[in-house]
A and B are shown apart, each in its own frame.
Chain A
Amino acid sequence: MENYEFAINFDNFLKSFEYMGFGMLGIFLVMGILIGFIVALNRIRFLK
């Protein structure tokens, strides 16, 4: 905690929304692809 000093930093706050957008997009993208793979695997009959 040596480098920390409490203050309100709006610049970083606004920039953080960019990370939020890309972060949530990334998670949904990976999960979406995984869902697609699972659905496909579950539909392949000879695997059952």
Chain B
Amino acid sequence: MDALFKNLIELDGGLFAKQLVMWVIGGILIFLAIKKKMEPTLLLPMGFGAILMNLPNNGELVEMGGKLVPEGVATVLGTLYEAGIANELFPLILFIGIGAMIDFGPILSNPKLMIFGAAAQFGIFMTLSLASLFNFDFNQAASIAIIGAADGPTSIVVATQLAPGLLGPITVAAYSYMALVPVVQPPIIKLCTTKKERRIRMPYNPASVSKFTRILFPIIVTVITGLLAPGAVALVGFLMFGNLLRECGVLESLSETAQKVLANLVTLFLGITVAFTMTAEQFVNWGTVLILGLGLFAFVFDTFGGIMIAKLMNLFLPEGKKINPMIGAAGISAFPMSARIVNKIGLEEDNQNFLLVHSIGANVSGQIGSVIAGGLILNFFL
């Protein structure tokens, strides 16, 4: 009989209480994924993985990834972690799929929208300052700040290199807030803009974009980023490789595979493998709560930065050519939720105010901006 309940008899009370908290966190992530449909492709595997990683007395402790983990399922996840996350393979491969999914057409026909993709990274650096104030060392502060990139793979790559111990809470925060963009952004947008500004209409006069430009764009982005921000070259390179597959016009089947099969396969492993870092000892503490708070701060100030640059530009633009400042808020990388939110608020204010094309342009430029920000942060702190 003792053998049957050996696992329960030998429980460490203090640790088990923390593990129970992790089960609840795992349950919440699964609930959000299934019931609220919030980033289910990642939150569901992460939620299940969080439970899996925190089963008590799950075999002898063995050293893996610089920490002691139970020999049971944790070593399998640890092997995946070493093979796919510690060396950044999974997030980078995922970037090929993301690159193949993105149509950069809107920014190629209206390149000034790229300014918003730069300005909406402001929250990253504000959060770096705030996290530094709260005594996180610069590597930790930079990893937390990159939550504001609103880009899961970039957050994982930066956190893995600068502060692997924080990977779990940072990934949870990054994906949760990306899913919460429809809740987080509207109040900030309304707080930072007047009704009159939200009603500004923007005519859409698309310039024709040649196929040659579409093909040359990913190559130029890779070369320029590689020269100016070498830390971003892996991120940008894989993103743009995926985009080149899409735009070249002769590799439809590869492009489709990258968009669907490859992205799905990597996402499947990425979510559950990130859970390897979500052990109770590492996750259940006040630092995690602080990281979640700082992540929210980053999203708020990203939105603020984008809106403010649009307002600044409006000071110099003539009447009739003014920009709806809400477009700036779409400069964060949460694609395409952020663009949709801006369009929805625009239509709420004026049912003929269609902003989707402009906001999509700002949104895809945010994809580039966030990757460059990640690369610059790696340049500064590696």
Do the two chains bind?
yes
B380 touches A42 (CB 8 A): no
| Interface status of B269 (Cβ within 8 A of chain A) | no
Residue of B nearest to A29 (CB): B228
**A1-48 CB contacts (< 8 Å) to partner B:** 1-10, 12-13, 15-17, 19-20, 22-24, 26-31, 33-35, 37-39, 41-42, 47-48
B118 touches A6 (CB 8 A): no
**B209-232 CB contacts (< 8 Å) to partner A:** 209-210, 212-213, 216-217, 220-221, 224-225, 228-229
From known contacts A30-B224, A30-B229, A34-B111, infer whether A8 and B133 are also in contact, taking CB-CB under 8 Å. Answer: yes
Chain A neighbourhood of B210, CB < 8 A: 41, 47-48
From known contacts A5-B135, A6-B134, A35-B115, infer whether A27 and B129 are also in contact, taking CB-CB under 8 Å. Answer: no
B125 touches A6 (CB 8 A): no
Number of residues from B at the complex interface, CB < 8 A? 56
CA distance A13 to B83 in the complex (A): 36
From known contacts A23-B125, A42-B207, infer whether A13 and B229 are also in contact, taking CB-CB under 8 Å. Answer: no
Chain B neighbourhood of A23, CB < 8 A: 121, 124-125, 128, 373, 376-377, 380
B121 touches A1 (CB 8 A): no
B118 touches A19 (CB 8 A): no
| Interface status of B165 (Cβ within 8 A of chain A) | yes
A interface footprint on B193-217 (CB within 8 Å = 1, 0 otherwise): 0000000000000011110110011
A38 touches B111 (CB 8 A): yes
A27 touches B290 (CB 8 A): no
A30 touches B228 (CB 8 A): yes
| Interface status of B84 (Cβ within 8 A of chain A) | no
Residue of A nearest to B381 (CB): A19
Chain B neighbourhood of A39, CB < 8 A: 111
B128 touches A34 (CB 8 A): no
Query: Pick the contact of B108 from A4, A8, A38 — CB < 8 Å?
Result: A38
B213 touches A47 (CB 8 A): yes
A27 touches B224 (CB 8 A): no
B286 touches A16 (CB 8 A): no
Chain A neighbourhood of B288, CB < 8 A: 1
User: What distance in Å separates the Cβ of B351 from its nearest Cβ neighbour in chain A?
Assistant: 32
Query: Pick the contact of A31 from B124, B141, B365 — CB < 8 Å?
Result: B365
> What is the interface of chain B, defined by CB distance below 8 A to chain A?
107-109, 111-112, 114-115, 117-118, 121-122, 124-126, 128-129, 132-138, 140-142, 165-166, 207-210, 212-213, 216-217, 220-221, 224-225, 228-229, 282, 285-288, 290, 365, 368-369, 372-373, 376-377, 380
The 6 closest A-B pairs by CB, nearest first: A20-B125, A12-B132, A13-B133, A38-B111, A7-B135, A16-B129
**What are 26 pairs between A and B in contact, CB < 8 Å?**
A1-B166, A1-B287, A1-B288, A4-B135, A5-B135, A6-B290, A7-B134, A8-B134, A16-B125, A19-B380, A22-B376, A23-B125, A23-B373, A23-B376, A24-B122, A24-B125, A27-B369, A30-B228, A30-B229, A31-B114, A31-B117, A33-B228, A35-B114, A37-B224, A38-B213, A42-B109
